[in-house]
């Protein structure tokens, strides 16, 4: 058997990589891989999850007597791995060489330290999320079942960590964490989204929450809800402008049923309810219920300019 | 480098855990972890899947001559692991200590034995599901492709086991099994749902089937179909009442196209067809086809009281 | 403890398998497993992904100096594993015995060789997909973030390989690859779908693209978009006819917003925009924007015959 | 291919096992495996070694700041695994059923607790062993090299733990630990042997130290040294009597060169030196040097009765 | 950093390999690796060990009720792996190409079948070895301790299988099995050696038993005993002649103490005892005890011609 | 159950570690582990072994067509891991902090580069070792069996690499490599020993070759041979002086039979033969055969001063 003429394919692939690098103006780069690693970040998230909920999501042979030891050792190791990844991200972002690495180190360390200090607050918020799921779902039998089984809770464990990384400027690490939750749960929350206490997503598959969304306390969402952008302002190069507020604001105690779509920087007032499959592109007053019939009215002026 | 002051964070996390346990009135608990394990249940499901379909989903070095040996050994080991998990669930549910474990053992064993006896029936049902997929999808080329590749079939392998656990009162184990399928396929079937033979879900992402749903024989569903609850009766504490029939009944040979939403304890009559993206909250007579135009009529009185 | 009477269950399971095999007219088969393996194909895809993007998705200890060595060795090994799987598929499809294996070998080798030669072109197309994602999403910060984190890009890496396998007649391998992407991203692209350069799927959960869909260049899709079949012609046995063109054609630069459903062999003209949640079953002219109001008109005659 | 007629072989093997069990009068036993596990004990030893020397033999990502956390958590987990193994040994030894397990538990726990309390003393002794190796070998370059590389030190880490288990009556666990060292180093020290501080074995392959040997402080041994029994008193059944003192006593600062053999309950006096390949079966006075010529005299009366 | 100029070293290594192949007259070979694998054989031995002693050396979660299932499935899989390795050995030995593989298959299968049929007899012999160790060592506390911990028993489990492979002409596989035992125990038994029932090696490190040695029943050996060849007849090319009887014969109930060396085709008569470190190159009559003094006489004529 | 009072033991262990560090005058150290890793070095050796003998000791799925690619990629990765370990050793030896690491880097790189350049020569020497084993052992059936199975060859693969590291001043890495061979084969060759081409050790268990030994070409050794030091000159602190020539010199074609002991800086002349168990402490002229009787004469003056 004559094999597969790998040589020619290797040469062709080399040529394609060269074109890509030239197109990206990276012709001169070399040496080691400089990107953070998804696998390392997956381990970091696993470890931090164990440190946050040691007796329920930590190792099965853990005993309550040595909870603090486990938490301390796990935390210390996870934070140092996170520190290395943070340094890689800063270096990649600023195109520094390995030699200049030291100068990024203090910066990375300060960010990871701030992240660490936020962890007790994150645990406290997650406890409110667990309670919200338990009270919000008639099928839930115990708070432990909720923590072990609910994809919405798994997504929030990831999001509350990812959001902290995002606020500290480690946006690539944040995104890696968020996409890990997305792959496991079908829930796609951008790490930039701000979400208050007692948040509950039921079922969750197909939920999308955009970067600049702001969500109050005790909000409840069902599967396939979109909190998206209506349209993007375009910059002078014809590309979408980055960073502008363009996703909805949900005030406290809002409920949004499955498949509803809310687009643009609109505000859904306190305690409002959005029915299933409803399409909303305007503000909704506090306490109001929107159903499909009503939403057709609200949707009218969005349809118009699109022609 | 000065490290990350892990001590203070550990103390804060300890304080948050204490608050949680006090809030949950578990201040006095201690000792070992008492929850079932998702990892062990994943292994149990893997083993049982291999025992159900040895030559196609079992180990690649299995030969037909030793099929029964493999099935017997795998089954015996898997059932004993399941027995241990069942004991953990019963103990957790009834808040027994390790010392009282023995008295739960006979109970757990009896349930696992009943589960084991149901396995041949489960295999028989799954064979009808595989045939339904093969006949229902013009893209399907062989029954083996269907068993190997179709997420709907993977979801049903999990569900038919999870439903059996649910009927035997092992609801936490059932839920763990169901969420494993949800994470892999995006299909979220509550283990309580009753589903007849020859069931086929095509594509599947975003399908949600609620706890008290009842589905007849030869029913077909497409992606993003919801069989949900309309609204929950509230008990005197303001929490949703648990356990009431609140999801749809689908009679034999119903077909529901992608994105349709059926809410509440309504009945879709034998052979009825629900069109894509349709919203249904009323009974649909046997043999009837519902499309968006028609559904708008049906939806009217749901919209009314919501104003 | 008396154990679980595994013997009886084993006998019952044996009986069910025998019935299945008789129903499938495979009573005489025996010997070794003859199906391709999902695990091996997962490894093949992992290796090929590393060979396509060595410094970003390859091993973390890879250095640019030895990129070509890594690519060559990885490629050679992956192609030989693929060759073995291709041989298994051909043998399974044609029901040959192990003894006749040799005669399939040349056929399998020729197909894998053609696959290998297509890889540089696949990498080139994927580079256009990455650029499309970077320019299409205001939240994207760098092309590397896009390659590392975007589920739409992960889905396309799988699809462009799966489509090549499909074109070479290795449809079962192609399907295994496609379902791997589906499980990880919630994006379900049939390997038969033809997709041009610069394709971008944002968020992606719930996207379904059918077997005979044809997509032009620089097309953009959002989550939960369906490019499906309207209804299947039925053959004389009452089963759907296989292989007919039955999914949409999207011309260059079409944009389709979240939740839109396009069914049947319709053509969406160059540069057209389909709004969120819109339902389309007719051709849409080039440059046209379709929103819900407008779609209601277009949908009218589909609704009519369904009554 | 007709396979391998496994059925008949299985039946024959079953028959042999039945004969064995009848011969051992264990015909009625059943249920689960009741022996301790070599794999679990290997993990316990690994963990305890890390807890004893965290920065040098613990995990590579450990940092000095969290040394105590690591030690505490590792110790707690390892001791609980050891406790389970100790319970298995006691149950096996006393032929108790699973139901009577609880009554052995307090006994096992007390032994493991005593073992744990001995660990600091064990570490202290091992530090003296490391120093002895460093000073005793002209090829040793640092104390860290000694701890990392010297098989004699590895053997002593195992022995000092195994001896503690032996003293606590957990002789099977002790033996498992000792054989692990034997397999890795070729040094076979029975866990019963009593060995003082500052003990150094150079090279080590082939060293054998018997159960009732007593070794003082600062003793040095080279490869292939045997401290064995001369002959065993026989009991009334014709089997060797167990437990009698039958191996040598080495007083402080004895040196024994490679290949020397010392047999029986003889005493080698303080500071004596035994030359290479020498055969000794009589007491050697303190400070004396024995070489081959001299040993021939000493050996004379051993040779005589053997005729 | 400029890297390591791997290219030049690769070229040099290629050159050395070419020289080697030319020297071995294998210039034209190519394609896949054709040697058996040590890793696969290690797994085969592990599996067969579990099948021989299921409740003591098999998986820890095995239960006695499903012993036979485990044995049957494990045996079937292990024998098929062994069959593949046997085919590789035959092909390598006879320098056949992959295409001619089929013709070796029947031959390999027949040998593996004969091996399988020998397994019950092997187990029976190993039971006698375990009993011999238990009765022969005053430190042994139970037959289970012996099976779990004694390196001599581990060596015999390997040898009795290796010897069977050797007798069936699979000498390379036999050697791989033997060296696995050697690496773990320091006991080096050539697979050709014939060893009777009830054989016990105590401690074992350094024992060497040559290819043509013949050992009777109930023989006992201690560490560092050599049963070797005295000198090799040289063939006309100046290389040692292969296959001639050149190692000792030990009749029933012989005991050989540590460090004794017995060289050449001599016979040690029934019940004879050879003392520690003794050097023997002549026949020893039945019932006789040889010690160092006596051995000097026996050794005289060996020393003479060496002058 | 009250647990194991881990706190107190942790505190005691901390105290013992503090004493050790004070004794070693390392009180102020902190931060990360600074020692090379045995596990990493094991991987490096595995990789280099595969790169030296790709088709026989490399991965089983390697094909001859891509041999060079595999060699190049493996070599590049292994050398970079070795480089990191070399840097750790230099840093540890010179007690540099992490900040000063850069300055050691060029030094480490230069040493690893020299090591890499020596690899083709090492392969060439190993080929001579393989041939020597094949011709020297009447039981050897093929050169491939020798490479796959002979512990003496495995030991030399390690030694020839370790010796190169030793010559480049990386003595700790060299020692780690040497001890890996010792653990697997029972052959203990100090990395400092100089060994010529065509070296063969048969059986090997218990062989010890000291740091300053010098061995010519085509030398053959059997098991349990010691090439050791007679006595160590003592420095003014009472510790043995390091680095002096103190082990034997073996000229070309020397043969040393099992159990022989040669001590001190003596020379065994070309073609001399040392019999089994012989003890030599004086020069042996070329071509001479030494047996036990003769050795007793030679040993006389060693015995004398020892009295």
Of D4, D224, D241, the CB nearest to E138: D241
DSSP F269: P
- Contact of F76 with chain C, judged by CB distance below 8 Å, is answered with yes
Instruction: Give the domain extent around B66.
Output: 35-186
- Contact of E63 with chain C, judged by CB distance below 8 Å, is answered with yes
**Residue D262 β-bridge partners:** D227, D280
- String of DSSP letters for B212-257: T-EE-SS-EE-TT-EEE-S---B-TTSSBPSS---S-EE-TT-EE-
Of D9, D175, D242, the CB nearest to E149: D175
Residue with the bigger pLDDT between B167 and F91: it is B167
In this structure, the answer to whether residues C49 and C118 fall within a common structural domain is yes
- Contact of E102 with chain C, judged by CB distance below 8 Å, is answered with yes
Mean pLDDT of E102-121: 90
In this structure, the answer to whether residues E41 and E178 fall within a common structural domain is yes
DSSP C98: G
In this structure, the answer to whether residues B50 and B178 fall within a common structural domain is yes
Please say which residue of B132, B151, B186 terminates a domain: B186
Q: Which residues of B touch E69 (CB under 8 A)?
A: 68-70, 72-73, 76
pLDDT at E164: 98
In this structure, the answer to whether residues A168 and A210 fall within a common structural domain is no
Q: Do A77 and D61 touch (CB under 8 A)?
A: yes
Q: Mean pLDDT in chain E?
A: 87
Please report the ipTM that was assigned to this predicted complex.
0.88
Query: Min CA distance, A90 vs chain F (Å)?
Result: 19
Chains that touch D (3 or more CB pairs under 8 A): A, B, E, F
Range in A226-230, B240-244, C249-253 with the lowest mean pLDDT: B240-244
Mean pLDDT of B189-210: 97
Percent of residues, chain D, with pLDDT higher than 90? 60
Distances (CA, A) of F119 to E12, F46, F73, F197, F199: 9, 14, 15, 15, 18
pLDDT band for position B26 (cuts 50, 70, 90): low
Task: Report how many Cβ contacts below 8 Å link chain A to chain B.
Answer: 168
pLDDT band for position F34 (cuts 50, 70, 90): confident
- Contact of D60 with chain A, judged by CB distance below 8 Å, is answered with no
The CATH code of the domain that includes E74 is 1.10.3130.10
What is the tens place of the pLDDT at every residue in C163-221? 999 999 999 999 999 999 999 999 999 999 999 999 999 999 999 999 999 999 999 99
Task: Give yes or no for residue A306 having a pLDDT over 50.
Answer: no
In this structure, the answer to whether residues B56 and B170 fall within a common structural domain is yes
Task: Give yes or no for residue A60 having a pLDDT over 90.
Answer: no
Structural domain contains residue D272: yes
- Contact of D116 with chain F, judged by CB distance below 8 Å, is answered with yes
Task: Give yes or no for residue F29 having a pLDDT over 90.
Answer: no
In this structure, the answer to whether residues A243 and A280 fall within a common structural domain is yes
pLDDT at F155: 98
What is the tens place of the pLDDT at every residue in C99-141? 566 678 889 999 999 999 999 999 999 999 999 999 988 888 8
- Contact of A259 with chain B, judged by CB distance below 8 Å, is answered with yes
pLDDT at F276: 87
What is the tens place of the pLDDT at every residue in B56-113? 899 887 888 788 888 998 998 899 999 999 998 998 887 666 556 667 888 999 999 9
Structural domain contains residue C15: no
Task: Give yes or no for residue E301 having a pLDDT over 50.
Answer: no
Of D61, D63, D69, the CB nearest to A69: D69
Task: Give yes or no for residue B38 having a pLDDT over 60.
Answer: yes
Within chain D, strands assigned E span: 188-189, 194-195, 200-201, 208-209, 214-215, 220-221, 226-228, 249-250, 255-256, 261-263, 267-268, 273-274, 279-280, 289-290
Please say which residue of E186, E217, E246 terminates a domain: E186
CA A183 to chain centroid: 11
Q: Which residues of E touch D16 (CB under 8 A)?
A: 120, 123-124, 127
Query: Min CA distance, A233 vs chain B (Å)?
Result: 31
Task: Report how many Cβ contacts below 8 Å link chain D to chain E.
Answer: 168
Query: Min CA distance, D166 vs chain B (Å)?
Result: 28
In this structure, the answer to whether residues D102 and D212 fall within a common structural domain is no
pLDDT band for position E28 (cuts 50, 70, 90): very low
Q: Which residue's structure tokens are 């292989």? A: C243
CA–CA separation, E193 and E187 (whole Å): 13
Q: Do B226 and A259 touch (CB under 8 A)?
A: yes
Of D6, D63, D66, the CB nearest to B66: D6
- Contact of A9 with chain C, judged by CB distance below 8 Å, is answered with yes
Mean pLDDT of B229-253: 82
pLDDT at B260: 92
pLDDT band for position F27 (cuts 50, 70, 90): very low
Residue with the bigger pLDDT between C23 and C235: it is C23
The CATH code of the domain that includes A283 is 2.160.10.10
Test the F interface: residue of E1, E5, E13, E193 with most F CBs within 10 Å: E13
Structural domain contains residue A143: yes
Structural domain contains residue F22: no
Residue of C nearest to E68 (CA): C7
Contact A50, A59 (CB under 8 A): yes
Closest CA to D142 of F248, F26, F102, F111: F26
- CB neighbour list of residue E270: distance below 8 Å, 6 or more residues apart: E216, E251, E252, E253, E254, E286, E287
- CB neighbour list of residue E219: distance below 8 Å, 6 or more residues apart: E195, E196, E198, E199, E200, E250, E252, E253, E254, E255, E256
- Contact of C299 with chain B, judged by CB distance below 8 Å, is answered with yes
Chains that touch B (3 or more CB pairs under 8 A): A, C, D, E
Residue of A nearest to D81 (CA): A61
Of A6, A243, A279, the CB nearest to C292: A279
- Contact of D24 with chain E, judged by CB distance below 8 Å, is answered with yes
Structural domain contains residue C93: yes
DSSP B128: H
Q: Do A13 and C120 touch (CB under 8 A)?
A: yes
**Residue C263 β-bridge partners:** C228
Structural domain contains residue C23: no
Q: Which residues of E touch F201 (CB under 8 A)?
A: none
Q: Which residue's structure tokens are 């346990």? A: B21
Q: What are phi and psi of C254, to 5 degrees?
A: -75, 145
β-pairing, C249-250 with E289-290? unpaired
Q: CA neighbours within 13 Å on the CB side: how many for A248?
A: 26
Which spans in chain A are helix H?
A: 6-23, 38-52, 54-57, 67-94, 101-136, 143-149, 151-167, 171-185, 292-306
Of C183-187, D65-69, F15-19, give the range with the top mean pLDDT.
C183-187
Q: Which residues of D touch A81 (CB under 8 A)?
A: 61
Q: Which residues of B touch E80 (CB under 8 A)?
A: 61, 63
Residue with the bigger pLDDT between E297 and E257: it is E257
Task: Give yes or no for residue F301 having a pLDDT over 50.
Answer: no
Structure tokens belonging to residue C66:
């030895």
CA–CA separation, C181 and C207 (whole Å): 12
In this structure, the answer to whether residues E174 and E307 fall within a common structural domain is no
pLDDT at A222: 95
Q: Which residues of D touch B102 (CB under 8 A)?
A: 99
Residue C262, judged by CB atoms within 10 A of its CB (0-12, 13-18, 19+), counts as buried
Please tell me the total count of domains within chain C.
2
Please say which residue of C137, C154, C186 terminates a domain: C186
Contact E197, E181 (CB under 8 A): no
Task: Give yes or no for residue B302 having a pLDDT over 60.
Answer: no
- Contact of F23 with chain A, judged by CB distance below 8 Å, is answered with no
CA–CA separation, B63 and F129 (whole Å): 43
Q: Which residues of A touch C75 (CB under 8 A)?
A: 4, 6, 9-10
Q: Which residues of A touch F69 (CB under 8 A)?
A: 6
Both ends of chain B: CA-CA distance in Å? 62
Of B158-167, E66-75, E85-94, give the range with the top mean pLDDT.
B158-167
- Contact of C103 with chain B, judged by CB distance below 8 Å, is answered with no
Helices (H) and strands (E) in chain C, counts: 9, 14
Q: Do D65 and B6 touch (CB under 8 A)?
A: yes
Structural domain contains residue B11: no
Range in A119-123, A206-210, E88-92, F206-210 with the lowest mean pLDDT: E88-92
In this structure, the answer to whether residues D164 and D62 fall within a common structural domain is yes
pLDDT at E293: 61
In this structure, the answer to whether residues A306 and A259 fall within a common structural domain is yes
In this structure, the answer to whether residues F281 and F248 fall within a common structural domain is yes
Percent of residues, chain A, with pLDDT higher than 90? 60
Task: Give yes or no for residue F134 having a pLDDT over 50.
Answer: yes
pLDDT at A266: 96
- Contact of F53 with chain C, judged by CB distance below 8 Å, is answered with no
- Contact of E128 with chain D, judged by CB distance below 8 Å, is answered with no
Mean pLDDT of C70-91: 91
Q: Length of chain E, please?
A: 307
Q: Do B73 and E73 touch (CB under 8 A)?
A: yes
In this structure, the answer to whether residues B88 and B169 fall within a common structural domain is yes
CA–CA separation, F94 and F92 (whole Å): 6
- Contact of C36 with chain A, judged by CB distance below 8 Å, is answered with no
Range in A11-15, E47-51, E168-172 with the lowest mean pLDDT: A11-15
pLDDT at E297: 55
Residue C95, judged by CB atoms within 10 A of its CB (0-12, 13-18, 19+), counts as exposed
Closest CA to D255 of D126, D130, D153, D132: D132
**Three-point CA angle C162, C165, C170, nearest 5°:** 120
Task: Give yes or no for residue A61 having a pLDDT over 80.
Answer: no
Mean pLDDT of D220-233: 89
Structural domain contains residue A212: yes
Of D1-15, D91-105, F45-59, give the range with the top mean pLDDT.
F45-59
Q: Do A179 and C149 touch (CB under 8 A)?
A: yes
What is the tens place of the pLDDT at every residue in E42-75? 999 999 999 999 988 998 878 887 888 889 989 9
- Contact of A99 with chain F, judged by CB distance below 8 Å, is answered with yes
- Contact of E50 with chain D, judged by CB distance below 8 Å, is answered with no
Q: Do A291 and B306 touch (CB under 8 A)?
A: yes
């Amino acid at each position: 058997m004559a094999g597969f003429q790998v040589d020619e394919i290797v040469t062709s692939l080399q040529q394609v990589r060269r074109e890509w690098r030239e197109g990206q103006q990276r012709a001169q780069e070399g040496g080691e891989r400089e990107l953070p690693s998804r696998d390392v970040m997956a381990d970091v998230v696993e470890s931090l999850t164990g440190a946050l909920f040691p007796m329920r999501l930590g190792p099965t042979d853990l005993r309550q007597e040595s909870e603090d030891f486990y938490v301390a050792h796990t935390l210390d190791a996870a934070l140092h791995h996170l520190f290395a990844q943070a340094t890689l991200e800063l270096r990649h972002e600023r195109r520094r060489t390995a030699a200049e690495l030291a100068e990024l180190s203090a910066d990375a360390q300060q960010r990871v330290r701030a992240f660490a200090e936020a962890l007790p607050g994150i645990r406290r918020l997650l406890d409110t999320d667990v309670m919200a799921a338990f009270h919000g779902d008639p099928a839930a039998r115990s708070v432990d079942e909720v923590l072990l089984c609910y994809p919405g809770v798994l997504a929030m464990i990831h999001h509350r960590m990812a959001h902290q990384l995002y606020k500290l400027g480690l946006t690539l690490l944040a995104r890696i964490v968020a996409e890990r939750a997305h792959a496991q749960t079908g829930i796609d929350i951008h790490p930039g989204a701000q979400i208050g206490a007692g948040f509950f997503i039921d079922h969750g598959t197909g939920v999308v929450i955009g970067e600049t969304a702001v969500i109050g306390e005790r909000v409840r969402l069902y599967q396939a809800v979109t909190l998206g952008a209506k349209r993007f302002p375009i910059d002078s190069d014809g590309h979408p402008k980055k960073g502008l507020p363009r996703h909805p604001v949900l005030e406290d105690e809002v409920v949004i049923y499955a498949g509803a779509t809310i687009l643009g920087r609109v505000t859904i007032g306190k305690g409002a309810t959005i029915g299933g499959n409803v399409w909303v592109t305007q503000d909704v007053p506090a306490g109001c219920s929107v159903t499909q019939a009503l939403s057709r009215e609200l949707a009218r002026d969005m349809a118009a300019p699109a022609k």
